[in-house]
């Protein structure tokens, strides 16, 4: 018995020693940057242990330190990172891309499932590699897209909303996230990548199902924060790797079958540019990209191209449900501009609806699709903002949710939904937008040379979606829905690159009185803008 107790005591000492080593090597916050507080490492693990509202976590643990010091130290990916809030710091980071270099999970946590999923891509690469990717992707993403194709998909979405509402019964609410995911997948695949997924026609479309399964397996707080566990033969990790491989294969197969024909571009162009899908296939076929580079970029462009717009759609419908007067104001503006019954309005005409633009910007400001992002690494020792010493190799990022709501930049009502703050004319709104972007006070599309290349397409989708929906419906929050932000633990962590959006949002939809002629066209293929 004595020997047994002695052995147990020895094992206990060994375990305590290992725990102490792990704490001091990995979990003890670094000395630098000095005078910058550290968020306790266990905060990022809270979603693993209990159902939490990520906005509550942010306000309880991060809000005050970020605004007081302009930055915090945050544990993620088995190391401590610097997360920046102050706009002037961010503007400095965005200007110096060579110092604050993009460095994604393929370098930070190379053996993780997340790194396997996204690989080396246009968002996280740097230098010559990034330029190689950009030369293919940028021209394809920044051409003019045909808004009528998005309008057709929006008409199909309206049909699905009506069907779900009828099934729910009189006054019943419906879950919108799955419907909006199918809608954004259809737009991304058919218009950006020129491939057919049947996401709107089939709830069980392979890419839609696989993507949902992959997200459920990958974004788990424990594995995100301690990626070394990804190397262990846990059944969930084996399942995650198998799902990632199946997803990439299905995506490549759909792209090849679709041929990347460029169906989303304006057909009126005399020399139409190739679509994004065709452009990437050409890069691989000519040897400019390797097969792995094709798969990695295809994956990240599909994920970002439909996930981020989807999150913006959810948050926008949520905010407009809380402010129904805004729905009516958009419709009034359309009526005044002669757009409400114009079934052939193009992107240029939609851009000339200033209040609509200000509503979208305000939704992007309050609930940016990516609430926080840590994907830059300092190339050498540097002093940020004239006083924050950052050692070489430190990973740095920013909290979009916090910066976009900075009272110093936006005033005491920074947390309030007020589209009018952007201005009342197209010129005023665009001037405000450019100034806010230049000062890094509005970073939903990030900034500098590495600003989001898909901004134009995202804004077009939102303009089409809102103009069609306000013609067709009024909507408000389902009174039985619990207002919480972000998914249940296991789906995402707001301390990585995770979103902060209304969880499992449920809305009640009602047809506008004596539906407009645009609404009555649904049976014949849907309204066209």
Q: How far apart are CA 79 and CA 81, in angstroms?
A: 6
> If you write DSSP's letter for every residue of 350-398 in order, what string do you get?
HHT-HHHHHHHHHHHHHS-SSSEEEEEEESS-EEETTTEEE-TT-EEEE
Binding residue ranges for heme: 452
What whole-number distance in Å separates Cα of residue 220 and Cα of residue 47?
9
407 CB-contact burial (10 Å; exposed 0-12 / middle 13-18 / buried 19+)? exposed
Structural domain includes residue 6: no
- 236: in domain: yes
Record the pTM.
0.88
Q: What is the pLDDT of residue 411?
A: 96
Span 409-463, pLDDT tens digits: 999 999 999 999 999 999 999 999 999 999 999 999 999 999 999 999 999 999 9
- pLDDT computed for residue 259 by the predictor: 67
Local confidence band at 28 (pLDDT 50, 70, 90 cut-offs): confident
Instruction: Summarize pLDDT for 259-285 with one digit per residue, the tens.
Output: 655 445 444 444 456 689 999 999 999
φ, ψ (nearest 5 deg) of residue 218: -80, -50
The answer to whether residue 219 sits within a structural domain is yes
Which band of pLDDT confidence, cut at 50, 70 and 90, is reported for residue 376?
very high
- Examine the pLDDT at 68 and tell me if it is beyond 80: yes
Coil, strand, or helix at residue 140? helix
CB atoms closer than 10 angstroms to residue 255: 23
* CATH number for 51: 1.10.630.10
Cα 24 off chain centre by: 34
**Number of domains making up the chain:** 1
Mean pLDDT of 126-132: 95
Lowest pLDDT segment from 43-47, 194-198, 509-513: 43-47
pLDDT of residue 492: 39
Is residue 340 included in any domain, yes or no?
yes
Domain residue limits at 428: 31-524
Residue 99 pLDDT > 90: yes
14 within a domain of the structure (yes/no): no
* Beta-ladder partners of 473: 511
Mean pLDDT of 13-34: 61
Asked if residue 76 is part of any domain, the answer here is yes
Residue 320 domain-assigned (yes or no): yes
pLDDT of residue 505: 95
Any domain includes 317: yes
More confident residue, 54 or 10: 54
């Amino acid at each position: 018995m004595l020997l047994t107790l002695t052995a147990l005591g020895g094992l206990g000492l060994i375990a305590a020693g290992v725990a102490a080593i792990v704490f001091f090597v990995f979990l003890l916050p670094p000395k630098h940057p000095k005078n910058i507080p550290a968020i306790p490492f266990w905060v990022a693990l809270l979603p693993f242990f209990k159902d939490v509202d990520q906005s509550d976590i942010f306000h309880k643990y991060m809000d005050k330190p970020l605004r007081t010091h302009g930055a915090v130290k945050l544990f993620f990916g088995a190391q401590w990172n610097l997360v920046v809030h102050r706009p002037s710091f961010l503007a400095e980071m965005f200007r110096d891309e060579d110092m604050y270099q993009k460095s994604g999970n393929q370098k930070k946590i190379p053996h993780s499932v997340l790194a396997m999923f996204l690989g080396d891509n246009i968002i996280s690469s740097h230098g010559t590699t990034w330029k190689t990717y950009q030369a293919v992707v940028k021209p394809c993403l920044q051409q003019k897209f045909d808004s009528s194709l998005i309008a057709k998909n929006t008409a199909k979405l309206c049909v699905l909303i009506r069907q779900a509402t009828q099934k729910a019964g009189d006054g019943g609410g419906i879950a919108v996230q799955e419907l909006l995911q199918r809608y954004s997948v259809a737009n991304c695949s058919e218009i950006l990548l020129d491939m057919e997924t049947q996401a709107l026609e089939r709830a069980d479309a392979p890419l839609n199902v696989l993507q949902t399964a992959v997200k459920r397996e990958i974004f788990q707080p424990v594995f995100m924060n301690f990626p070394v566990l990804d190397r262990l033969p846990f059944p969930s990790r084996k399942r995650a790797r198998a799902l990632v491989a199946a997803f990439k294969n299905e995506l490549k197969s759909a792209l090849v079958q679709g041929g990347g024909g460029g169906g989303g571009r304006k057909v009126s162009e005399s020399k139409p540019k190739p679509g994004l899908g065709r452009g990437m296939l050409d890069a691989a076929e000519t040897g400019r990209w390797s097969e792995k580079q094709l798969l990695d970029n295809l994956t990240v462009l599909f994920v970002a191209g439909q996930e981020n717009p989807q999150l913006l759609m959810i948050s926008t419908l949520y905010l407009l449900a809380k402010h129904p007067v805004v729905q009516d104001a958009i419709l009034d503006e359309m009526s005044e501009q002669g757009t409400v019954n114009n079934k052939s309005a193009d992107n240029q005409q939609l851009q000339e609806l200033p209040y609509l633009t200000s509503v979208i910007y305000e939704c992007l400001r309050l609930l940016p699709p990516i609430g926080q992002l840590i994907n830059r690494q300092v190339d050498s020792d540097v002093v940020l903002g004239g006083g924050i010493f950052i050692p070489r190799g430190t990973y740095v990022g920013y909290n979009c949710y916090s910066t976009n709501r900075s009272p110093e930049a936006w005033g005491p009502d920074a947390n309030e939904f007020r589209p009018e703050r952007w201005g009342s004319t197209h010129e005023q709104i665009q001037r405000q937008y450019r100034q806010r972007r230049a000062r890094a006070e509005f970073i939903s599309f990030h900034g500098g040379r590495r600003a989001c290349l898909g901004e134009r397409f995202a804004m077009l989708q939102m303009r089409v979606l809102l103009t069609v929906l306000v013609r067709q419906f009024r909507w408000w929050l389902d009174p039985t829905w619990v207002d919480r932000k972000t998914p249940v633990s296991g789906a995402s962590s707001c301390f990585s690159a995770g979103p902060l959006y209304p969880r499992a949002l449920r809305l009640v939809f009602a047809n506008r009185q004596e539906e407009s002629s645009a609404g009555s066209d649904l049976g014949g293929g849907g309204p066209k803008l």
